A and B are shown apart, each in its own frame.
Chain A
Amino acid sequence: DSGVTQTPKHLITATGQRVTLRCSPRSGDLSVYWYQQSLDQGLQFLIQYYNGEERAKGNILERFSAQQFPDLHSELNLSSLELGDSALYFCASSVDGQGGSPLHFGNGTRLTVT
C-alpha cells in the first residue's frame, strides 16, 4: 500500500459529461502529480502541484483542470468528455516536488467514456 488514495476506482460515463477524480496524498507529502495512461500507452504527465501551487504542467487538455486544496488533497476535473479520454488516471505524491524524492502512486481511477 503506497499510502496514496484515489477515488473512485472505476467510473463509467457518457461523452460530453464531466467527472471529478480525487486523490489524497501520503501523509507528509506536499507534492501531487496526475498522469494519464491509455491502453498500451506510457504514463503521460498532466500536471503537478506543490503545497497548493501549480508547479509543472504537461500536455494537459484545456478541457481538463486540477487543483490542490489546503489539506493537500487534489482533484482532477475532466469535462466535455470524449471517447479518447478513456484511460487509467494515476495520482502520485512525493515529499517535495523536485530532486530525488520518489513518487508514490495510487491505484488509479479507470475512466470509461461510452
Chain B
Amino acid sequence: GQNIDQPTEMTATEGAIVQINCTYQTSGFNGLFWYQQHAGEAPTFLSYNVLDGLEEKGRFSSFLSRSKGYSYLLLKELQMKDSASYLCAVRDSNDYKLSFGAGTTVTVRA
C-alpha cells in the first residue's frame, strides 16, 4: 500500500513563493505527480517526477528525492488564481495504482 502525507493548509501573499511538501511510503515507486484542483472542479495535471531532481515549468517547479520518499511543489510569483488544493499522487510499480494525498489547500491573500 501507500501512505502519502502533505500539509492540510497553507497561506501566502500574492507575489510570494510557497513550497508544498509531500512525503510518501510505497512498496514500489513508479513516479510522482502533482495536480491542482479548484473547489468543485476536476484536478488538472501540473508536473511529473520519476528521477531525483528538479523539474521546472514556468512558475511551478517540482522536486523529488526517491531515497527520502520526499517531493515538493514550489509555486513562485503567487497569483490570486493559484488559490486551490494541490494534490500529490504516487504511482505504485507493483500494481500501477495512482494514489492521491489528501491535498494541501493554498490560500493566496492580497
Residues of A at the B interface (CB closer than 8 Å) are 2, 33, 35, 41-43, 45, 48, 55-56, 58, 88, 90, 97-100, 102-108
Contact = CB atoms under 8 A, between A and B. Distances in A.
Contacts of B98: 33, 45, 48, 103
A41 B37 CA distance: 13
Contact of A100 (B43, B44, B48): B48
A90 B91 CA distance: 18
Contacts of A103: 33, 43, 45, 98
Candidate in B33, B42, B48, B87 with the most chain A CB atoms within 10 angstroms? B42
Contact of A106 (B42, B45, B89): B42
Given A42-B87, A48-B96, A102 B33 contact: yes
A78 B42 CA distance: 21
Candidate in B43, B99, B101 with the most chain A CB atoms within 10 angstroms? B43
Interface size classification for chain B: 20 to 34
A108 B42 contact: yes
Contacts of B87: 42-43
Contacts of A99: 30-31, 50, 91
Contact of A98 (B40, B91, B103): B91
Interface string B36-65: 000011111100101000000000000000
Given A43-B87, A107-B41, A97 B48 contact: no
Given A99-B30, A100-B48, A102-B48, A43 B43 contact: yes
B100 interface: yes
A56 B100 contact: no
B109 interface: no
A45 B50 contact: no
Nearest to B88: A42
A42 B42 contact: no
Given A48-B96, A56-B96, A100 B42 contact: no
A89 to B, nearest CB: 11
B96 A55 contact: yes
A33 to B, nearest CB: 7
A102 B102 contact: no
